Amino acid sequence: MSYRNRVFLIALAAAGMASAAHAGLVVRSVGTGAAAFPVGRSVAAGTPITLTAGDMLTILDGQATRTFRGPGTFDLGRAAAATTTLASAATALSSQSAARKPRLGTVRGVPAIESASLWDVDLDAADAGTQCVVDPASVILRRGETKAPRTLTIMPAKGTAAKVMLAAGAASAKWPASLPASGSYTIMDNGQTRSVDFAKIPAPTGDAATDAEALIKAGCTSQLERFVASLEK
């Protein structure tokens, strides 16, 4: 092989590696025009991104989240989107921060409320859906409004239900030790019913794309949104 051909092949390989390195991960996809770019899709630099009015696409490329809003045709490799530099992914997940602001303070006889966590089961959500957990032994149930006491009845698909009491002023309670945080449950809460399906995922790596992809693969859409929002702060 001639020297010129070797140089050409090396340059071609380098270009391919650079293109792969600039691939981004779709973490938000809103609107009919954005349907071609579902959450979880990898988008390489140079791929035309065509959006219609009202569409929004957020792509995580390892260095920043880039948000594209339609109408228009965009390219991940160009500065054609609102860009938010990432906070530390390790901080966002390992410290279990959440997108919502924690409620802090004290109530007579009740200790200070701890900060909300990405791994908490949100009792204010209409349906918890799939809940990713890293440590099934440390699952927390959390609510926003703390004025009134609440009694939860947690029912597994098979077996005995367990009750959890949240006193007035208490924002959180531990998941009952008698029930493993795996599989599907129904939570009865003040006359309302919601379901939660637990999915165990690996511990956070500190790499935003890797950790986001773990949430996507497990179907933990609510936690993914909160994770991305925490990175954008």
**Phi-psi group of 230: left, alpha or beta (phi > 0 → left; psi -120 to 50 → alpha; rest → beta):** alpha
Pick the closest to residue 120 from 102, 105, 107 (CA basis).
Answer: 102
| CA pair distance 46, 25, nearest whole angstrom | 14
d(CA 220, CA 120): 12
Strand order of the sheet with strand 129-133?
129-133, 192-200, 183-189, 150-156, 162-166
DSSP-derived pairing of the beta strands 72-75 and 48-51: antiparallel
pLDDT at 93: 61
The pLDDT assigned to 191 comes to: 82
One pLDDT digit (tens) per residue for the chain, 233 residues: 543 333 333 333 333 333 344 689 999 999 998 999 999 999 998 899 999 999 999 999 876 788 999 999 998 877 545 555 554 454 556 544 333 333 322 233 333 334 688 999 998 876 667 999 999 999 999 999 899 999 999 999 999 999 999 999 999 999 999 999 999 999 998 888 889 999 999 999 989 999 999 999 999 999 999 899 888 77
Provide the 3-class DSSP secondary structure of residue 126.
coil
How many Å apart are CA 117 and CA 216, to the nearest integer?
A: 18
Select from 112, 114, 117, 194 the least CA-distant residue to 152.
Answer: 194
Amino acid at position 219, single letter: G
- Strands 129-133 vs 192-200: parallel, antiparallel or unpaired: parallel
Length of the chain: 233
Which tokens belong to 221?
Answer: 């859409």
Model pLDDT, residue 125: 79
